[in-house]
Amino acid sequence: MKGSREIALEILNYFDKNGYIPSKKVEIALSTLSFEARKFTVNLYLGTLRKRVLIDHILKEYLKKPDKLPVAVRNVLRLGVFQLYFLNAVPEYAAIKESVELVGVRTFRNLVNAVLRKITKERVDLSGLPLWLRYSHPQWLVNYIEKLPYMRDIRPVLEYNQAPPMETYVVDPQMLTELEERGFIFAGSDFSDAVLLVERGIGAPKLHRIDEMEYILKGMKEKMVKKAGSALSLLNERPWLFSTLKRESFSNSKEQLLREIMEIDTKDFFLLLETYSLEETHDLVLELAENGYEYVNFDSTLGKDLRGTEQDYGVYYFPPDAPKPCFITYLKKR
């Protein structure tokens, strides 16, 4: 049976060769593991993807031509660095030993061993790095976000992007009590009657996971339409986007969103976009206005404790003043 590190490595190798994560194959591979091993595996491959920009910067100091290395060797090194820097529960000797054992060719085993040992002795002071490296984002993306006219403070957004997503549920009081008796720990949301899962207990109850912003909007009397666009708001859930998202993604996505929205039959509706790029929000609404839609003002709190950045075409929401980054506009067809 394959172990956690071997499965995590296979997932990373597949991503580098194919450009996406095969969710079905991942589910099958994870199903062979115990609950704790499954958690560790997910943390390994998603964490390594989240920190990839920073990890590659660290590795660059120890590798003459990293791009010339086989994909599998590079990913073994990435997994090793992730464990050394971000998994305190894994001893350094274990991170190095287990990484070396993932490599089949002796020459590369020696390389992995030497590089990881050097890295343990020469730790980089992360606090002294520029924002894009400290928060492990592509430099172009941090530069882009910093220049957005409606972005007040970039750091909470970068921190949100790097944090594993919280699981949010709607659970009735009786079920909540039963789950807490089984060791589940929940925290109340600041924005709705939903609860956030802090720690899993015994068993696998069927719970309805929600997108809290969508849940709040569905509580309004008006119709709601949700679109992902470039999924800029979903970097924490889909950390492979740190590698696949491109500057042109925003313009390309705007054109697709425009086509999809023009096909909606409803005359007036809330539009929830899981992105906050200028192209997919401001530019999109302007083009919709040229095609028979108008923006209608609405209460940006949505009847809750939400705080958004209001513009004359919609409202931007960012943590910690909302559950996640997103853009909401209310459109009416003329």
- Residue-level pLDDT at 189: 96
Model pTM score: 0.92
At 111, the amino acid letter reads: L
Judge whether residue 245 has pLDDT over 90. Answer: yes
What is the rounded average pLDDT of the residues 257-283?
Answer: 96
- Residue-level pLDDT at 222: 92
Reported confidence tier of residue 296, pLDDT bands at 50, 70, 90: very high
Characterize the bridge pairing of strands 224-227 and 268-273: parallel
What is the rounded average pLDDT of the residues 40-53?
Answer: 96
Characterize the bridge pairing of strands 326-333 and 314-317: antiparallel
- Residue-level pLDDT at 87: 93
- Residue-level pLDDT at 299: 95
Reported confidence tier of residue 275, pLDDT bands at 50, 70, 90: very high
Reported confidence tier of residue 2, pLDDT bands at 50, 70, 90: confident
- Residue-level pLDDT at 247: 94
Which of these, 262, 189, 255, lies nearest to 225 by C-alpha position?
262
Residue ranges and CATH numbers for the domains of the chain are: 4-124 (1.10.940.10), 212-333 (3.40.50.150)
* Angstrom distance (rounded) from CA 158 to CA 109: 35
Helix boundaries (H) for 122-182: 131-134, 139-146, 154-162, 173-181
Write the CA distances from 31 to 2, 35, 40, 64, 166, integer angstroms: 11, 9, 13, 39, 22
Reported confidence tier of residue 263, pLDDT bands at 50, 70, 90: very high
Judge whether residue 204 has pLDDT over 80. Answer: no
Mean pLDDT, the chain, as a whole number?
Answer: 94
Sign of the Cα torsion 31, 34, 35, 36 reads: negative
Reported confidence tier of residue 54, pLDDT bands at 50, 70, 90: very high
Q: Are 133 and 57 in contact (CB under 8 A)?
A: yes
Reported confidence tier of residue 104, pLDDT bands at 50, 70, 90: confident
Judge whether residue 212 has pLDDT over 90. Answer: yes
Judge whether residue 323 has pLDDT over 90. Answer: yes
Q: Are 325 and 265 in contact (CB under 8 A)?
A: no
Three-class secondary structure of residue 273 per DSSP: strand
At 153, the amino acid letter reads: D
- Residue-level pLDDT at 64: 85
* Residues contacting residue 142 through CB under 8 Å, at least 6 positions apart: 131, 132, 135, 154, 158
Judge whether residue 180 has pLDDT over 80. Answer: yes
What is the rounded average pLDDT of the residues 245-252?
Answer: 95
Say what the alpha-carbon torsion angle 229, 241, 328, 153 is, to the nearest 10 degrees.
Answer: -150
Sign of the Cα torsion 59, 60, 62, 63 reads: positive
What is the rounded average pLDDT of the residues 249-260?
Answer: 96
pLDDT in tens, 129-164: 999 999 999 999 999 999 999 998 999 999 999 999
